[in-house]
Chain A
Amino acid sequence: EAGVAQSPRYKIIEKRQSVAFWCNPISGHATLYWYQQILGQGPKLLIQFQNNGVVDDSQLPKDRFSAERLKGVDSTLKIQPAKLEDSAVYLCASSSSQGASGYTFGSGTRLTVV
């Protein structure tokens, strides 16, 4: 089966600019997650979708971050305007609705804000 696809792989932007990341989960996986992984740390959940609805965005800085999952498949995560502290790897993951087998992760997008 195809894995979780993410693009771009790398992105460098200046602070106050905007950026968007794209994720295509494994076919049939109802649940999609965006994680932020700061260098040297474990991933931290930003937002969780169940189909096309948000079920948890409590950790998402909503003043600058937004995400959507139209039609319950692909998802985009946007940052506007970016800050230096947003420099991180942004990982997308998906799971079947139960998730007991664990999550399948994409390769992530490394964002550098200068």
Chain B
Amino acid sequence: AQTVTQSQPEMSVQEAETVTLSCTYDTSENNYYLFWYKQPPSRQMILVIRQEAYKQQNATENRFSVNFQKAAKSFSLKISDSQLGDTAMYFCAFMKRPGNYGQNFVFGPGTRLSVLP
């Protein structure tokens, strides 16, 4: 079974600075997808960024980028120029393969990020 670990339960960063959230996972699969989701106090899970394991290039979405290390099974999220609106829980998630049934989408326990003014 796949597992996702986020070793930082809580983090804080000053507004406009950069922060990196860690995620590691365990799988025997070769092709899979990784995601970072943001959950603000409104509770809605919002997709931040996704990475396909067969792509070596790290995904980037505006101020959000990832450092994907497939051999190390590591998938960290870097937030540049942090904004107050980035304050939220951040969940790392793993998907075995599209269309697969069952426990296909596994979440980590989350990291609570606070952006300080």
Give Cα A102–Cα B38 distance, bound, in whole angstroms.
13
User: Which residue of B35, B98, B101, B105 contacts A50 across the interface (Cβ within 8 Å)?
Assistant: B101
User: Which residue of A43, A50, A100, A110 contacts B33 across the interface (Cβ within 8 Å)?
Assistant: A100
- Flag if B102 contacts A42 (CB, 8 Å): no
- Flag if B105 contacts A101 (CB, 8 Å): no
Number of B interface residues in the complex (CB < 8 A): 26
Annotate A88-114 by CB proximity to B: 1 below 8 A, 0 otherwise: 010101000111111111111010000
User: Which residue of A50, A101, A102, A108 contacts B43 across the interface (Cβ within 8 Å)?
Assistant: A108
Annotate B9-47 by CB proximity to A: 1 below 8 A, 0 otherwise: 000000000000000000000000101010000111111
- Flag if B98 contacts A42 (CB, 8 Å): no
- Flag if A98 contacts B47 (CB, 8 Å): no
Q: Which residue of chain B has the shortest Cβ distance to A50 in the bound complex?
A: B101
Chain A interface, >50% SS class: loop
- Flag if A58 contacts B102 (CB, 8 Å): yes
- Flag if A98 contacts B98 (CB, 8 Å): yes
A–B complex contacts, Cβ < 8 Å, 20 sampled: A3-B44, A40-B109, A40-B110, A41-B109, A41-B110, A42-B108, A42-B109, A43-B45, A43-B107, A45-B105, A48-B102, A58-B102, A91-B43, A93-B45, A98-B98, A99-B98, A99-B99, A100-B33, A102-B37, A107-B42
B residues near A (Cβ < 8 Å) are: 4, 33, 35, 37, 42-47, 50, 52, 91, 93, 95, 98-99, 101-105, 107-110
Give 20 new A-B contacts, CB below 8 A, not counting A40-B110, A43-B45, A91-B45: A40-B109, A42-B4, A42-B108, A42-B109, A43-B91, A56-B103, A89-B43, A91-B43, A99-B99, A100-B33, A100-B52, A100-B95, A101-B50, A102-B50, A105-B44, A105-B46, A106-B44, A107-B42, A107-B44, A108-B43
